[in-house]
Structures are given as structure tokens and as C-alpha cells.
Structure 1
């Protein structure tokens, strides 16, 4: 039999958790069994006629209207939740366009604020690609984009 070595996985910097609780198999199996029983009972209640349910000893049960209403309500609730979260992210969690946080952030390093920076060398940074570490001051970028100085 041919075995594939996991040597590359062990040498990588990605760590995979091997911590599994001792009861994980039992919890998964019991969840599976309970959900299957629930599905079987729900389908039996929604499909079987009253006479068969009465023969099985079930005399009191909700109206069959709920067999379609509950899944429909859950589906509509899921759709409203999806739309609500999208609207929340757009309207509340997104900063306005005139907010300064759309231009700069706390982790950015503006090159003109570095110690020992010579203001005369700003052209070297304006017309070359940045290293990905430094940010250019917005007023210098605006000069290049919107004025005739350069």
C-alpha cells in the first residue's frame, strides 16, 4: 500500500489543531439521530392522514397548516436576517465618505513623519511605487492629481 508523507505539512508554518474533545463523536452521533427522529416525526405528522395517526395513538396534534407555515416563516426570517445584516453593514458599519478614516488609519506610517526625512526628496516617493509600508501624505497626492505643479 502506498502512503503519502505528511512531512510538508509538518514543516509548514500553518498549525492545525489536533485537540478534539473526548465526547465529540457521541455529541455528533446523538445530534444526527435526534435530527433524523425529528424529521421522521415531522414528515409523518404532515403526510399521514388522521386515521393512521389515530391508530398510532396520536389524537392531539397541531393543524397541518403549521407543517408548511413554520418552514416558510423560518425561510422568510433567514431572508430578512440576510437583508438586515447587509443593510446594517452598509448603513451603520461603513464610515461616511467624508470621514478621515477613509483616507488614513492608525497603523499607517506617513513618510513625511519619519525622523530624518528630507522634504525635498518627496518627488522620489511620489512618482515611484511605495514599498507597501509607507503612506504618502494626502495633500502631496492631491497636488500630483489635481494641480499643475508637477
Structure 2
């Protein structure tokens, strides 16, 4: 007999509550990520404490602890400073590359690209008359003609027929 005290979770990919793919039962799940996370967390704190001891303790106490060699104290400032500079330089480099690869405002490539799909006016619609036609990019000349075409007596770009 199965235990019916707890309802089964939905396992259908169409159900919004169902995990997909379904999670394995708890007795078969690995606990390795928990151990790896704990080791990473504890080793990070241990290294940070050792770093603070190296930076803040005087030389006499470090030598009394039996440590005969350790890096110069100037590295305690140089490594974090260089890290900050490298991070900022990385952001600056990506920002500069984005500017470099952006075409000028008067270039046609700012509004279209080689992948644009324009309708061919000579090809008839092969679909049923009431079917939804293929999607196409609207040519910029058509957009400009519809939005900005001014006729005589036209005010604010609105056709005189209104």
C-alpha cells in the first residue's frame, strides 16, 4: 500500500506547478552541492581572516607564530587596487567596443541589416486569402512616406481628408 497522506505533485509539463523535468525523489538526490557550497564558504572566510591577520599583525607576532616567510605588506594594497583597476578597465573596454561597433546615425545600418525580410511585390500570396501572411520588415521609405508625407494644406502631418 502506498502512503496517500501526502498528495502527489503534478508531473505534467503542461501544468504550471510541475517541475520539468521531474525532480528525482529526495532519497536519490545528491547532497554534494551542499558540501561543495559549505567548503567554498568556509574556505573563503578562512582565507579572508588569514589575509586580515597578515595585514594587521606586526612582524614580531607573525614570527612568534613560527612563520618565517610571508609576502611584503605592499601586496596587501597592490592586489586589491589592481583588481579594481582591471574590473573598471574591463567595463571601459566593453563600453568602447560598443561605441566602436555602432554605425553613425546617418547610416542605413542603424535601422536595418542584412537579415531584413522585405516583401516581393511581384510574388502573389500563395496562401488562402484569409490566412495570416508572412511577416516582413516594413521598408523605411514606406514608414517615412506614411508618417512624414506632407501634402498641400496639410497641418501637423495629418491628411486633409480628416
User: Using a 3 Å threshold, how does the CA distance of structure 1 residues 21 and 134 change in structure 2: closer, same or farther?
Assistant: farther
- Indicate the residue corresponding to 1:47 in structure 2: 56
- Indicate the residue corresponding to 2:35 in structure 1: 26
Q: Distance in 1 between matches of 2:136 and 2:19?
A: 31
- Pairwise CA RMSD: 3.9
Equivalent position to 1:104, from 93, 106, 112:
112
SS of the residue 1:60 aligns to? coil
Q: Distance in 2 between matches of 1:50 and 1:144?
A: 79
Q: Distance in 2 between matches of 1:101 and 1:85?
A: 21
CA displacement at 1:47 relative to structure 2: 0.3
Q: Distance in 1 between matches of 2:96 and 2:150?
A: 41
Bigger Cα Rg? 2
Query: Which of 1 and 2 has higher RCO (CA within 8 Å, sep 6+)?
Result: 1
Do the aligned partners of 1:111 and 1:137 also contact (CA within 8 Å) in 2? no
Q: Distance in 2 between matches of 1:106 and 1:25?
A: 49
Q: For residues 1-150 of structure 1, what are the structure 2 equivalents within 5 Å?
A: 11-12=15-16, 23-92=32-101, 94-105=102-113, 108-111=116-119, 113=121, 115-116=123-124, 133-145=135-147, 147-148=149-150
Flag structure 1 segments of 5+ consecutive residues without an equivalent. Answer: 1-5, 118-132
CA displacement at 1:16 relative to structure 2: 6.2
- Indicate the residue corresponding to 1:120 in structure 2: none
Which digits, 9 at most, give the CA deviation of each residue in 1:34-54, with x for residues without a partner?
Answer: 211111111000000111101
Flag structure 2 segments of 5+ consecutive residues without an equivalent. Answer: 1-8, 126-134, 152-158
TM-score (norm 2): 0.60
User: Using a 3 Å threshold, how does the CA distance of structure 1 residues 30 and 59 change in structure 2: closer, same or farther?
Assistant: same
